[in-house]
């Protein structure tokens, strides 16, 4: 049975093979438009009060890019929320730059890379290798 914690998706190699890029890196890119960036920036600037909105907005943006993992999980909604919580907690400097936006940038790209690490004959996980906003 597959499970997840934070940004890591635990599954057997047989389940992992269902993702089209297995055994290679799964890479996806999300465009963050000005409206989404403003929502994230506002949530970030609201501090504790904005956490739920920020995580919800980020999870919604991740739904499509993490969709290929639905072949393992059935639905990726919970996994997206788990990833969003981790990104919000650990990488808030990205959201700070969205909040400040001194250059008046209209959109950003969010690049996410996952790699499957196999451990033993029947164990492994898809782990986030890179997360970049530019």
Question: Is pLDDT of 90 > 70?
Answer: no
Q: What are residue 113's phi and psi, to 5 degrees?
A: -125, 130
Mean pLDDT of 51-69: 90
pTM for the whole structure = 0.84
- Percent of all residues in the chain with a pLDDT value above 90, rounded to a whole number: 40
Decide if 69 contacts 79 (C-beta within 8 A): yes
Euclidean distance between CA atoms 54 and 88, whole angstroms: 8
Predicted local confidence at residue 66, as pLDDT: 92
Question: Is pLDDT of 124 > 90?
Answer: yes
Mean pLDDT of the chain: 86
Question: Is pLDDT of 89 > 80?
Answer: no
Mean pLDDT of 73-94: 83
Predicted local confidence at residue 99, as pLDDT: 66
Give start and end residues of each alpha helix (H) in the chain.
13-16, 34-45, 51-62, 70-73, 77-90, 92-100
User: What is the tens place of the pLDDT at every residue in 26-55?
Assistant: 998 888 888 888 888 888 888 888 889 888
Mean pLDDT of 80-96: 78
- Residue linked to tokens 């790699």: 115
């Amino acid at each position: 049975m597959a499970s997840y914690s934070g940004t890591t998706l635990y599954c057997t190699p047989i389940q992992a093979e269902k993702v089209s890029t297995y055994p290679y890196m799964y890479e996806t890119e999300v465009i963050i438009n000005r409206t989404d960036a403003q929502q994230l920036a506002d949530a970030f600037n609201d501090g504790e009060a904005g956490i739920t909105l920020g995580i919800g907005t980020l999870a919604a943006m991740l739904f499509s890019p993490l969709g290929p993992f639905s072949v393992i999980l059935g639905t990726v909604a919970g996994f997206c929320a788990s990833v969003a919580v981790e990104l919000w907690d650990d990488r808030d400097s990205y959201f700070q730059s969205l909040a400040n936006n001194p250059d008046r940038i209209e959109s950003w790209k969010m690049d996410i890379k996952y790699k499957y690490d196999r451990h033993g004959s029947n164990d492994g996980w898809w782990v986030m290798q890179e997360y970049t906003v530019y």
